[in-house]
Chains A and B, each alone.
Chain A
Amino acid sequence: MQRLMAETVAILIITTCLFSTADAAAKPEDAIKYRHSVMESMSGHVNAFVLIATNKIDSPQYLQNHADAIANLSSELETLFPAGSGQGDTDALPAIWDDVEKFSKAVAKMQETANSLQQVAGSGDTKAIMGAFAAAGKSCKGCHETFRAEEDDDDSDSHDHDDHEH
Protein backbone atom coordinates (compact mmCIF):
# COMPACT_ATOMS: atom_id res chain seq x y z
CA MET A 1 0.00 0.00 0.00
CA GLN A 2 2.73 2.34 1.01
CA ARG A 3 4.58 1.49 -2.17
CA LEU A 4 1.51 2.16 -4.26
CA MET A 5 1.14 5.54 -2.58
CA ALA A 6 4.75 6.37 -3.29
CA GLU A 7 4.33 5.37 -6.93
CA THR A 8 1.17 7.44 -7.31
CA VAL A 9 2.91 10.44 -5.82
CA ALA A 10 5.88 9.94 -8.09
CA ILE A 11 3.66 9.68 -11.15
CA LEU A 12 1.76 12.77 -10.07
CA ILE A 13 4.98 14.71 -9.63
CA ILE A 14 6.27 13.60 -13.00
CA THR A 15 3.06 14.46 -14.86
CA THR A 16 2.86 17.83 -13.14
CA CYS A 17 6.42 18.54 -14.20
CA LEU A 18 5.68 17.46 -17.76
CA PHE A 19 2.62 19.64 -17.98
CA SER A 20 4.27 22.66 -16.51
CA THR A 21 7.20 22.32 -18.91
CA ALA A 22 4.76 22.19 -21.78
CA ASP A 23 3.07 25.28 -20.37
CA ALA A 24 6.33 27.23 -19.96
CA ALA A 25 6.15 28.53 -23.52
CA ALA A 26 3.28 31.01 -23.27
CA LYS A 27 0.90 31.55 -26.16
CA PRO A 28 2.03 34.54 -28.24
CA GLU A 29 -1.12 36.52 -27.44
CA ASP A 30 -0.56 35.99 -23.71
CA ALA A 31 3.09 36.92 -24.04
CA ILE A 32 2.06 40.11 -25.83
CA LYS A 33 -0.62 40.92 -23.28
CA TYR A 34 1.82 40.36 -20.45
CA ARG A 35 4.45 42.49 -22.16
CA HIS A 36 1.99 45.33 -22.62
CA SER A 37 0.94 45.08 -18.97
CA VAL A 38 4.52 45.34 -17.78
CA MET A 39 5.29 48.22 -20.13
CA GLU A 40 2.18 50.08 -19.04
CA SER A 41 3.09 49.55 -15.40
CA MET A 42 6.49 50.92 -16.27
CA SER A 43 5.07 54.09 -17.82
CA GLY A 44 2.78 54.52 -14.81
CA HIS A 45 5.74 54.47 -12.44
CA VAL A 46 7.75 56.70 -14.74
CA ASN A 47 4.96 59.27 -14.72
CA ALA A 48 4.51 59.06 -10.96
CA PHE A 49 8.26 59.41 -10.50
CA VAL A 50 8.38 62.56 -12.62
CA LEU A 51 5.42 64.15 -10.84
CA ILE A 52 7.20 63.76 -7.51
CA ALA A 53 10.67 64.61 -8.79
CA THR A 54 9.44 67.85 -10.35
CA ASN A 55 7.63 68.78 -7.11
CA LYS A 56 4.18 68.65 -8.65
CA ILE A 57 3.17 66.02 -6.13
CA ASP A 58 4.45 66.53 -2.62
CA SER A 59 5.17 62.91 -1.72
CA PRO A 60 8.94 62.63 -1.67
CA GLN A 61 8.66 59.59 0.56
CA TYR A 62 7.35 57.57 -2.41
CA LEU A 63 10.01 58.52 -4.93
CA GLN A 64 12.10 55.51 -3.99
CA ASN A 65 9.10 53.18 -4.44
CA HIS A 66 8.70 54.22 -8.03
CA ALA A 67 12.42 54.04 -8.74
CA ASP A 68 12.46 50.52 -7.25
CA ALA A 69 9.53 49.53 -9.43
CA ILE A 70 11.23 50.89 -12.55
CA ALA A 71 14.37 48.91 -11.76
CA ASN A 72 12.39 45.75 -10.93
CA LEU A 73 10.33 45.92 -14.09
CA SER A 74 13.49 46.52 -16.11
CA SER A 75 14.91 43.28 -14.78
CA GLU A 76 12.05 41.43 -16.52
CA LEU A 77 12.70 42.97 -19.93
CA GLU A 78 14.70 40.13 -21.40
CA THR A 79 11.97 37.56 -20.78
CA LEU A 80 9.22 39.78 -22.21
CA PHE A 81 10.07 38.96 -25.80
CA PRO A 82 9.86 35.18 -26.22
CA ALA A 83 10.30 33.79 -29.73
CA GLY A 84 7.02 33.97 -31.64
CA SER A 85 5.70 36.99 -29.76
CA GLY A 86 6.52 39.31 -32.65
CA GLN A 87 3.38 38.23 -34.50
CA GLY A 88 0.01 39.64 -33.57
CA ASP A 89 -1.16 42.86 -31.97
CA THR A 90 2.29 44.22 -31.25
CA ASP A 91 4.61 47.02 -32.30
CA ALA A 92 7.67 44.91 -31.51
CA LEU A 93 9.91 44.86 -34.57
CA PRO A 94 11.58 41.73 -36.01
CA ALA A 95 14.96 43.32 -35.22
CA ILE A 96 14.49 42.12 -31.62
CA TRP A 97 14.87 38.52 -32.73
CA ASP A 98 17.06 39.18 -35.76
CA ASP A 99 19.74 41.11 -33.93
CA VAL A 100 19.76 39.43 -30.55
CA GLU A 101 23.12 40.84 -29.56
CA LYS A 102 22.11 44.44 -30.19
CA PHE A 103 18.82 43.92 -28.37
CA SER A 104 20.51 42.38 -25.32
CA LYS A 105 22.88 45.30 -25.24
CA ALA A 106 19.98 47.76 -25.29
CA VAL A 107 18.23 45.83 -22.51
CA ALA A 108 21.42 45.75 -20.43
CA LYS A 109 21.72 49.52 -20.85
CA MET A 110 18.15 49.98 -19.60
CA GLN A 111 18.82 47.82 -16.55
CA GLU A 112 22.07 49.61 -15.81
CA THR A 113 20.49 53.05 -15.99
CA ALA A 114 17.40 51.94 -14.04
CA ASN A 115 19.68 50.59 -11.30
CA SER A 116 21.55 53.90 -11.16
CA LEU A 117 18.24 55.70 -10.83
CA GLN A 118 17.29 53.38 -8.00
CA GLN A 119 20.60 54.12 -6.24
CA VAL A 120 20.26 57.87 -6.43
CA ALA A 121 16.49 58.24 -5.92
CA GLY A 122 16.70 58.59 -2.15
CA SER A 123 19.62 61.04 -2.16
CA GLY A 124 17.51 64.19 -2.20
CA ASP A 125 19.91 65.58 -4.80
CA THR A 126 17.46 66.83 -7.45
CA LYS A 127 20.13 67.41 -10.05
CA ALA A 128 21.56 63.90 -9.69
CA ILE A 129 18.08 62.39 -9.67
CA MET A 130 16.98 64.16 -12.84
CA GLY A 131 20.32 63.36 -14.48
CA ALA A 132 19.85 59.66 -13.72
CA PHE A 133 16.26 59.86 -14.89
CA ALA A 134 17.30 61.46 -18.18
CA ALA A 135 19.87 58.68 -18.68
CA ALA A 136 17.23 56.01 -18.05
CA GLY A 137 14.86 57.81 -20.42
CA LYS A 138 17.57 57.79 -23.02
CA SER A 139 17.77 54.01 -22.77
CA CYS A 140 13.99 53.74 -23.17
CA LYS A 141 14.16 55.96 -26.22
CA GLY A 142 17.19 54.18 -27.66
CA CYS A 143 15.40 50.84 -27.53
CA HIS A 144 12.12 52.16 -28.90
CA GLU A 145 13.99 53.87 -31.71
CA THR A 146 15.38 50.62 -33.05
CA PHE A 147 13.01 47.94 -31.86
CA ARG A 148 9.51 49.41 -31.79
CA ALA A 149 7.28 50.50 -34.66
CA GLU A 150 6.04 54.03 -34.10
CA GLU A 151 2.81 53.93 -36.05
CA ASP A 152 0.75 52.36 -33.28
CA ASP A 153 -2.80 53.57 -32.67
CA ASP A 154 -2.48 56.41 -35.11
CA ASP A 155 -2.57 53.95 -37.97
CA SER A 156 -5.90 52.28 -37.26
CA ASP A 157 -7.35 55.67 -36.50
CA SER A 158 -6.85 57.03 -39.97
CA HIS A 159 -8.39 53.94 -41.57
CA ASP A 160 -11.40 54.38 -39.34
CA HIS A 161 -11.65 57.90 -40.59
CA ASP A 162 -11.84 56.69 -44.19
CA ASP A 163 -14.44 54.09 -43.35
CA HIS A 164 -16.75 56.54 -41.66
CA GLU A 165 -16.91 58.66 -44.75
CA HIS A 166 -19.34 56.20 -46.34
Chain B
Amino acid sequence: MSGVIDLLFWAFGASAVVTGWLVFRTDSMVRAAYWLMASFVAVGGILVLLDAQFLGLILILMMAGEMTIMAIFMVMFMMNPAGLNPMTMVHQHRASIISGAGAFIVLALVALFANFLAEPVPTGAEPTVDLGVELLGGSMLVFETAGVALLAVMIGAVALVSQQGRFGDAEAGSLEPSLETEGP
Protein backbone atom coordinates (compact mmCIF):
# COMPACT_ATOMS: atom_id res chain seq x y z
CA MET B 1 0.00 0.00 0.00
CA SER B 2 2.76 2.44 0.85
CA GLY B 3 4.36 1.61 -2.49
CA VAL B 4 1.24 2.84 -4.26
CA ILE B 5 1.26 6.00 -2.17
CA ASP B 6 4.92 6.60 -2.98
CA LEU B 7 4.24 6.12 -6.67
CA LEU B 8 1.27 8.49 -6.54
CA PHE B 9 3.32 11.06 -4.63
CA TRP B 10 6.11 11.03 -7.19
CA ALA B 11 3.57 11.17 -10.02
CA PHE B 12 1.84 14.18 -8.47
CA GLY B 13 5.13 15.83 -7.57
CA ALA B 14 6.56 15.37 -11.05
CA SER B 15 3.38 16.67 -12.70
CA ALA B 16 3.29 19.69 -10.39
CA VAL B 17 6.86 20.62 -11.30
CA VAL B 18 6.54 19.82 -15.02
CA THR B 19 3.25 21.67 -15.49
CA GLY B 20 4.68 24.56 -13.47
CA TRP B 21 7.57 24.67 -15.91
CA LEU B 22 5.21 24.45 -18.89
CA VAL B 23 3.41 27.58 -17.68
CA PHE B 24 6.37 29.61 -18.83
CA ARG B 25 7.22 27.59 -21.93
CA THR B 26 3.92 27.51 -23.71
CA ASP B 27 2.97 30.04 -26.37
CA SER B 28 -0.76 29.93 -25.83
CA MET B 29 -1.67 32.12 -22.91
CA VAL B 30 -4.89 30.42 -21.95
CA ARG B 31 -3.01 27.15 -21.87
CA ALA B 32 -0.50 28.79 -19.52
CA ALA B 33 -3.33 29.61 -17.11
CA TYR B 34 -4.57 26.05 -17.26
CA TRP B 35 -1.10 24.51 -16.91
CA LEU B 36 -0.96 26.49 -13.65
CA MET B 37 -4.36 24.99 -12.80
CA ALA B 38 -2.93 21.52 -13.45
CA SER B 39 0.02 22.32 -11.19
CA PHE B 40 -2.38 23.31 -8.43
CA VAL B 41 -4.45 20.14 -8.90
CA ALA B 42 -1.27 18.08 -8.57
CA VAL B 43 -0.34 19.99 -5.41
CA GLY B 44 -3.87 19.37 -4.11
CA GLY B 45 -3.27 15.68 -4.74
CA ILE B 46 -0.01 15.83 -2.78
CA LEU B 47 -1.82 17.52 0.11
CA VAL B 48 -4.47 14.78 0.14
CA LEU B 49 -1.71 12.16 0.24
CA LEU B 50 -0.16 14.04 3.18
CA ASP B 51 -3.35 13.42 5.19
CA ALA B 52 -4.57 17.00 4.86
CA GLN B 53 -7.61 16.10 2.79
CA PHE B 54 -9.61 19.23 3.53
CA LEU B 55 -6.70 21.49 2.56
CA GLY B 56 -6.05 19.69 -0.71
CA LEU B 57 -9.67 19.74 -1.80
CA ILE B 58 -10.15 23.37 -0.74
CA LEU B 59 -7.07 24.27 -2.80
CA ILE B 60 -8.55 22.63 -5.90
CA LEU B 61 -11.91 24.31 -5.25
CA MET B 62 -10.35 27.79 -4.87
CA MET B 63 -8.10 27.43 -7.85
CA ALA B 64 -10.98 26.63 -10.22
CA GLY B 65 -12.27 30.16 -9.77
CA GLU B 66 -8.88 31.82 -9.59
CA MET B 67 -7.51 30.20 -12.74
CA THR B 68 -10.65 31.02 -14.70
CA ILE B 69 -10.17 34.66 -13.71
CA MET B 70 -6.54 34.39 -14.76
CA ALA B 71 -7.52 32.92 -18.13
CA ILE B 72 -9.95 35.79 -18.68
CA PHE B 73 -7.23 38.30 -17.75
CA MET B 74 -4.89 36.55 -20.15
CA VAL B 75 -7.36 37.05 -22.96
CA MET B 76 -7.79 40.68 -21.88
CA PHE B 77 -4.17 41.72 -21.50
CA MET B 78 -1.96 39.49 -23.57
CA MET B 79 -1.29 40.31 -27.19
CA ASN B 80 -1.27 36.72 -28.23
CA PRO B 81 -3.72 34.69 -26.17
CA ALA B 82 -3.87 31.68 -28.43
CA GLY B 83 -0.18 31.51 -29.16
CA LEU B 84 -0.79 31.42 -32.88
CA ASN B 85 2.43 33.36 -33.47
CA PRO B 86 5.20 32.07 -31.27
CA MET B 87 7.01 34.72 -29.32
CA THR B 88 9.24 34.95 -26.26
CA MET B 89 8.59 37.78 -23.84
CA VAL B 90 11.34 37.51 -21.29
CA HIS B 91 13.79 39.98 -19.85
CA GLN B 92 16.91 39.43 -17.75
CA HIS B 93 16.67 35.80 -18.74
CA ARG B 94 20.03 34.55 -17.54
CA ALA B 95 19.76 36.35 -14.20
CA SER B 96 16.35 34.84 -13.55
CA ILE B 97 17.48 31.33 -14.48
CA ILE B 98 20.40 31.68 -12.08
CA SER B 99 18.11 33.03 -9.34
CA GLY B 100 15.59 30.26 -9.84
CA ALA B 101 18.20 27.53 -9.87
CA GLY B 102 19.93 29.13 -6.91
CA ALA B 103 16.73 29.26 -4.89
CA PHE B 104 16.04 25.62 -5.69
CA ILE B 105 19.58 24.53 -4.76
CA VAL B 106 19.60 26.43 -1.47
CA LEU B 107 16.19 25.09 -0.43
CA ALA B 108 17.07 21.56 -1.54
CA LEU B 109 20.29 21.65 0.47
CA VAL B 110 18.32 22.79 3.53
CA ALA B 111 15.80 20.01 2.93
CA LEU B 112 18.42 17.30 2.58
CA PHE B 113 20.92 18.26 5.23
CA ALA B 114 18.91 19.80 8.07
CA ASN B 115 17.87 17.64 10.99
CA PHE B 116 14.14 17.77 11.31
CA LEU B 117 12.15 16.24 14.16
CA ALA B 118 10.26 13.14 13.23
CA GLU B 119 6.81 13.33 14.79
CA PRO B 120 4.43 12.09 12.14
CA VAL B 121 0.70 12.63 12.30
CA PRO B 122 -0.74 9.75 14.35
CA THR B 123 -2.73 7.25 12.33
CA GLY B 124 -6.42 7.49 13.11
CA ALA B 125 -6.25 11.21 13.75
CA GLU B 126 -8.94 13.22 12.01
CA PRO B 127 -7.21 16.28 10.67
CA THR B 128 -10.42 17.89 9.40
CA VAL B 129 -12.06 17.70 12.81
CA ASP B 130 -8.90 18.98 14.50
CA LEU B 131 -8.66 21.85 12.05
CA GLY B 132 -12.29 22.80 12.61
CA VAL B 133 -11.92 22.79 16.38
CA GLU B 134 -8.73 24.84 16.15
CA LEU B 135 -10.14 27.38 13.69
CA LEU B 136 -13.07 28.23 15.90
CA GLY B 137 -11.27 27.67 19.18
CA GLY B 138 -7.72 28.67 19.88
CA SER B 139 -6.99 30.34 16.55
CA MET B 140 -10.24 32.20 16.14
CA LEU B 141 -8.37 35.53 16.11
CA VAL B 142 -6.22 34.44 13.17
CA PHE B 143 -9.32 33.35 11.31
CA GLU B 144 -11.16 36.60 11.97
CA THR B 145 -8.14 38.68 10.98
CA ALA B 146 -7.93 36.78 7.71
CA GLY B 147 -11.63 37.40 7.19
CA VAL B 148 -11.31 41.13 7.80
CA ALA B 149 -8.25 41.26 5.53
CA LEU B 150 -10.21 39.55 2.75
CA LEU B 151 -13.07 42.01 3.22
CA ALA B 152 -10.64 44.95 3.05
CA VAL B 153 -9.13 43.49 -0.12
CA MET B 154 -12.56 43.07 -1.70
CA ILE B 155 -13.49 46.66 -0.97
CA GLY B 156 -10.06 47.87 -2.07
CA ALA B 157 -10.10 45.96 -5.34
CA VAL B 158 -13.56 47.23 -6.24
CA ALA B 159 -12.52 50.77 -5.32
CA LEU B 160 -9.40 50.47 -7.47
CA VAL B 161 -11.15 49.38 -10.62
CA SER B 162 -14.47 51.12 -10.25
CA GLN B 163 -15.12 53.40 -13.18
CA GLN B 164 -17.19 55.85 -11.20
CA GLY B 165 -15.60 57.82 -8.43
CA ARG B 166 -17.37 60.21 -6.12
CA PHE B 167 -16.60 63.15 -8.34
CA GLY B 168 -17.54 61.62 -11.66
CA ASP B 169 -16.04 59.24 -14.14
CA ALA B 170 -12.74 57.90 -12.86
CA GLU B 171 -11.12 57.98 -16.29
CA ALA B 172 -11.46 61.73 -16.47
CA GLY B 173 -8.42 62.16 -14.26
CA SER B 174 -6.12 59.83 -16.12
CA LEU B 175 -4.97 62.23 -18.81
CA GLU B 176 -1.38 63.27 -18.35
CA PRO B 177 -0.73 66.97 -17.72
CA SER B 178 0.18 68.60 -21.01
CA LEU B 179 3.20 70.74 -21.73
CA GLU B 180 1.18 73.94 -22.17
CA THR B 181 0.16 75.79 -19.03
CA GLU B 182 -3.53 75.71 -19.84
CA GLY B 183 -5.55 73.05 -21.51
CA PRO B 184 -6.35 69.49 -20.48
A, B bound: no
Which residues does B use to contact A, with CB under 8 Å? none
